Amino acid sequence: MILIFARMARLDAFYCDKHFAYFSRVRLPGYYTFSENMQMKYPGFVLNDSLGLVENISNYDVNLDTVLNLLRSKDHTLYERMKNDLFSGQSLYTTGNAKEQQSIAYVTYPRSGNSLMRKYFENITGIASGSDMVMKYCANIALQFCGFKAEGIVDSRAWIKKSHYPFITPF
Average pLDDT, the chain: 80
| Percent of the chain's residues with pLDDT above 90 | 10
> Among 54-63, 82-91, 108-117, 140-149, which is the least confidently predicted range?
54-63
Question: Domain-by-domain residue ranges, the chain?
Answer: 2-163
**Which pLDDT band, with edges at 50, 70 and 90, does 15 fall under?**
very high
pLDDT tens digits for 25-45?
999 999 999 888 878 877 777
Identify the pLDDT of residue 169. 57
pLDDT tens digits for 108-150?
888 888 888 998 988 888 888 888 877 666 677 777 777 787 8
Identify the pLDDT of residue 1. 55
The count of C-alpha atoms lying within 13 angstroms of the C-alpha of 44, restricted to the half-sphere facing its C-beta, is 9
Say whether pLDDT at 64 is over 90.
Answer: no
